[in-house]
Amino acid sequence: MLAVLSPGQGSQKPGFLTPWLDLPGTEARLRWWSALAGIDLVRLGTEGDADEIRDTARTQPLLVAAALLAAEQLPMYEVTVTAGHSVGELAAAALAGVLSPEAAVTLAGVRGREMAAACALEPTGMSAVMGGDPDEVLAALAAHELHPANFNGAGQLVVAGALDGLAKFAANPPASTKVIGLKVAGAFHTPYMAPAERALAGVAAGITPTDPARILLSNADGAAVDHGREMLQRLVRQVTAPVRWDLCVRRLADLGVTAVIELPPAGTLAGLIKRELKGTGQVPEIVTLNTPADLAAARDLIARHGGPAGPAPAPRFRVVVAGTPGIFASIEGLAEGAAVESGQVIGHITTRQGAVEVTAHGSGVLTEWLAQHDDPVAPGQPLARIGGTAS
């Protein structure tokens, strides 16, 4: 079984699109997508320097366009699984057939602009945390009112929040951890991005998605998503929710994926997979597709490991987790055994910035509350279990 993966922000490199423009039709394709994204993807991908392409408003549509451009050179009908990291989920959704390439690039343009605007509202940032006891790290984050943003696996967690909180956390880190400040515009995948989520939701409401033609994994919980409308809702919510790439990698292993192609700019996700699955005997064969010179190896991998995609398996349950520290309160009258719909508000977390909604990531039955009313919760803490098949 073969998976194609789309990387997220931070993987870009100056000039990484240059060799792709030698292929017939690729420059015209990029110019069309540039009109949709509102930026010059051709110039940015070939001439933009590191600082210019680090700009969130430019980086996000550039990465989605690069992944789609390369995937058009592959026999995707033989690919069974797609997934993406953060903004890479938009490309993965297009490759699975949920979105058109044009819709994915347009949404990436809106997402990038609005997240950049949200970053400018107050001084926030992100830091990488290596090692340490996961529970101790999450408790320390809650103490400093910080948020887990990316659970990348292999002992790597990216945290985000106010700059003063990040500084205090770095000055007194949890035992056995290494904290590295990241050069980013702000606190992505946290409640600080709420204005961007609202703006993206307004545009996404005008899109009619289709159900995926292959297994499509979600950053929210690593689940395989069966329905296009649900995936579109997840893509919007992911702007303020943690990226659970660790769960996506575990789902790849659970599915029995034997080979992976990482789309350009490739390398980051391949490294995370190798580290997360090291010693398990489940490390897949990987091709990092960075230039057209890598296409032969990617096509050979598909020929050896690919096959027609079957229907996505419905997960047996989904776990709803806290995206922020605070005091949890369930919706009054919502008891275990009740049916819930995807996107339904099932509770709130009260923070110093106000109440943050907790929503179901899929339809099913509320099988178990994992946190009680008025419990203090930390980011990433399980709140509820939803069982049954998504509808």
Return the active site residues: 86, 189
Closest CA to 44 of 60, 67, 68, 28: 60
Token pair for residue 152?
């990348």
Q: Phi first, then psi: give them for residue 150, nearest 5 degrees.
A: -135, 115
Q: Is the dihedral of CA 94, 97, 100, 103 positive or negative?
A: negative
Q: Phi first, then psi: give them for residue 27, nearest 5 degrees.
A: -65, -40
Helix H, strand E, coil C: the string for the chain is CEEEEECCCCCCCCCCCHHHHHCCCHHHHHHHHHHHHCCCHHHHHHCCCHHHHHCHHHHHHHHHHHHHHHHCCCCHHHCCEEEECCCHHHHHHHHCCCCCHHHHHHHHHHHHHHHHHHHCCCCEEEEEEEECCHHHHHHHHHHCCCEEEEEEECCEEEEEEEHHHHHHHHHCCCCCEEEEECCCCCCCCCHHHHHHHHHHHHHHCCCCCCCCCCEEECCCCCCECCCHHHHHHHHHHCCCCCECHHHHHHHHHHHCCCEEEECCCCCHHHHHHHHHHCCCCCCCEEEECCCHHHHHHHHHHHHHHCCCCCCCCCCCEEEEECCCCEEEEECCCCCCCCEECCCCEEEEEEECCEEEEEECCCCEEEEEECCCCCCEECCCCEEEEEECCCC
